[in-house]
Copies of this chain bind each other. A is one copy, B any other.
């Protein structure tokens, strides 16, 4: 493995009843003035909004609200949040929602402390200098944003979707109650599954030598996702299944299973360009791209794909070459996506070939992407073309 530094200071609360027991304490330890950030209003329909506001009010907390954070959160919304925090001297941002709301909260938190446009930090023209404290209440199992410092913001004007973060943007606390995901629609549950599995893939396909424990830890998360996803999708109020998927999503991207290795992340970079132009769900885009990326890169290290087949999909490797097992692994990945109803091709979103060149150029605008295999513009173009 590579030498590494690991630090994840987020306090994680999992399970039923934790919000009622500990939210007020966690908030008021930090301050008495909160920006409550949420999305399209599902938390009003399922009662979570009333619960949270009730708890905060009883604790004497002043609440400012910013609702309507978009599924791919936009810079304009981030700017609105920064303005509120500055005008009202907000002590803490409380993000209630899925990864988009959480990512938006991180951008606002950095922006409040940044002298300039927070977008600079995302396009690597500036560095975060601090952040308002932020806490989260998760309502969607997908991005892992509840226990990491990163997030993705879309600049709709320039059609750019970029990931960023800083050491300051780990949530101070995150509450994950599986019951808050019962009302997540079927398609979002599917996309969330694709997203968390994609995070595992990004870790798993890496060039770092000698990482046996990390390999098996990542396999543990992948196997659990594969074994439990369909249950959560078909039975949205199955507590055990929702709990397992929520916990997998947290563990897939909190840094605990991938210490000391450089993940690939090319597929995320490619998908960001698709959804920056077409505004498609991130998880859907990832499910489309990954099998084609796997076909394109499998020759780099077939044995990694063979391990995927054996340890995640339970394939008996006896008498099979790594190349054969690699093909089986990719077929199994496709089968899995199909079994949960994930999209298979760009055509499923009515995306044709007219913007391929632009997406391929944009994907490599900071240089080659990917660590398992370095990809230039031509490579990205070919992968996108195969996915049409």
Contacts and interface: CB of A to CB of B under 8 A. Distances in A.
Contacts of A10: 7
Contact of A15 (B9, B13, B15, B260): B260
A357 interface: no
A289 interface: no
A260 B251 CA distance: 13
B212 A227 contact: yes
What's the interface size class on A, roughly? Answer: 35 or more
Contacts of A216: 219-221, 223-224
A12 interface: yes
A247 interface: yes
Nearest to A254: B256
A16 interface: yes
Contacts of A362: none
A240 B221 CA distance: 24
A8 interface: yes
A221 B18 CA distance: 29
Contacts of A5: 11-14, 18, 22
Contacts of A260: 14-15, 247
Interface centre among A6, A18, A210, A213 (most CB of B within 10 A): A213
B17 A12 contact: no
Given A219-B220, A251-B213, A6 B2 contact: no
Interface in A66-125: none
A224 B311 CA distance: 13
Contacts of A22: 5
B240 A210 contact: yes
A204 to B, nearest CB: 13
Given A212-B244, A213-B248, A224-B213, A17 B1 contact: no
A46 to B, nearest CB: 20
Interface in A191-245: 210, 212-213, 216-217, 219-221, 223-224, 227-228, 240, 243-244
A224 B220 CA distance: 13
B9 A14 contact: no
A366 interface: no
Contact of A213 (B1, B11, B210, B247): B247
Given A219-B220, A220-B220, A14 B8 contact: no
Interface of A: 1-18, 22, 210, 212-213, 216-217, 219-221, 223-224, 227-228, 240, 243-244, 247-248, 251, 256, 259-260
Given A212-B227, A217-B220, 18 more contacts: A1-B15, A3-B14, A3-B16, A4-B15, A5-B11, A5-B13, A5-B14, A5-B22, A6-B12, A8-B8, A14-B259, A210-B240, A210-B244, A213-B248, A216-B224, A217-B221, A219-B220, A247-B260
30 contacts: A1-B14, A1-B243, A3-B14, A3-B15, A3-B16, A4-B12, A4-B13, A4-B14, A5-B13, A5-B14, A6-B11, A6-B12, A7-B9, A7-B10, A7-B12, A12-B259, A14-B259, A14-B260, A15-B260, A212-B227, A212-B244, A213-B220, A213-B251, A216-B219, A216-B223, A217-B217, A217-B220, A217-B221, A220-B220, A247-B260
